[in-house]
Amino acid sequence: MSFIKLVNTGFKYPESNIDSFVLNNINLSIDDGEFVCIIGANSSGKSTLGRLINAILTPTDGDVLINETLNTRELKNFIPIRKMIGMIFQNPDNQIVATTVEEEVAFGPENLNLTSDEIRKLVDNSLQEVGLNDLRTFPPHLLSGGQKQLLAIASVLAMEPKCIIFDEPTSLLDPFSRESVINKIIEINKKGKTILLITHRMDEVLLSNRVIVLKDGSIELDMSPKDFFSKNNDELIKLNLYPPEIVQIINKLKENGLNVPKDIMSSKDLVDFICRL
């Protein structure tokens, strides 16, 4: 069963003076529990696609269906859709509304009219999940960038969504914080939640089980990361995409006659393979 389905979906920003669509005739199905990376050059439509799936935007053409029955065009579906599909944005400061960490996480559940006991349980579980339990009384502005992004994740987890869309969540973070956030995303997916990761970092693509490439508002490629990175470097460069260093090394080894298996995508696996030769 497709959890997310886009049918002939197109979108044009109504206030735009440009007569072209940001997204054109998108047909896409995403199953429950998938980890999908959405990549593409700037202005390819990545963020717009995420906002259409989350019902922040309504399609100009076609339909976006969630859980097979909920059409994002219908106003009555907005709340159940946004409860099922959370979204994390690039800048965590733009998502924070409360004065303490625990109040921030409680904000969503409070708007669902849950009991105090239910809210407390959700807040405790979510803070524990992201490792911020000891900072629950801190003002969010005293947190680091990575901690703020983890707080944003906790706030979404407290809504108990089936899917979380991450819109370039690591682009403003230092390497240590980026690793912390990415590891948390992987953990969340392993626990059964659907992940849509919009990113410009090719090394993050390696972590997913499916990659969707947008070009000029259309789906150019839809395949596994292994198939994607097995393509010729020149093909990727034409899409303004550059393989991570480990993939470039593997491709160079292949060009020089070493038959590296397609399922090797990390430096550790490559070293282990070479040591076995």
137/159 same-domain check: yes
Domain that holds residue 157: 2-231
d(CA 186, CA 207): 8
**Overall number of domains in the chain:** 2
d(CA 166, CA 148): 14
26/149 same-domain check: yes
- Please tell me the predicted confidence (pLDDT) of residue 151: 97
pLDDT grade for 65, boundaries at 50, 70 and 90: very high
Give the Cβ contact number of residue 247 at 10 Å. 24
Handedness of CA 259, 245, 225, 33 (dihedral sign): positive
108/78 same-domain check: yes
What is the layout of strands, in order, in the sheet containing 70-71? 23-31, 2-11, 61-66, 70-71
Enter the tokens of residue 112.
């669902």
Distances in whole angstroms, Cα of residue 130 to Cα of each of 83, 88, 165, 265: 19, 14, 17, 27
Q: What is the pLDDT of residues 77-116, one digit of tens each?
A: 999 999 999 999 999 898 899 999 999 999 999 988 889 9
pLDDT at position 16 over 70? no
- Please tell me the predicted confidence (pLDDT) of residue 17: 62
CA dihedral 26, 32, 38, 44 (to 10 degrees): 20
22/134 same-domain check: yes
210/174 same-domain check: yes
In a domain, 173, yes or no: yes
- Please tell me the predicted confidence (pLDDT) of residue 242: 79
Enter the tokens of residue 117.
């006991």
169/266 same-domain check: no
Strands (E), 77-230: 85-88, 163-167, 194-198, 210-215, 218-223
d(CA 51, CA 110): 23
Distances in whole angstroms, Cα of residue 185 to Cα of each of 26, 68, 125: 26, 25, 16
Enter the tokens of residue 148.
């703020």
24/152 same-domain check: yes
DSSP conformation letters of 18-55: --S-SEEEEEEEEETT-EEEEEESTTSSHHHHHHHHTT
Percent of the chain's residues with pLDDT above 90: 70
Query: Whole-number mean pLDDT of the chain?
Result: 92
Percent of the chain's residues with pLDDT above 70: 97
In a domain, 236, yes or no: no
253/178 same-domain check: no
pLDDT at position 143 over 90? yes
In a domain, 238, yes or no: no
206/272 same-domain check: no
Q: What is the pLDDT of residues 107-133, one digit of tens each?
A: 999 988 889 999 999 999 999 999 999
d(CA 219, CA 226): 18
Distances in whole angstroms, Cα of residue 105 to Cα of each of 34, 86, 97, 111: 25, 13, 10, 11
Average pLDDT in the 241-269 region?
84
- Please tell me the predicted confidence (pLDDT) of residue 248: 83
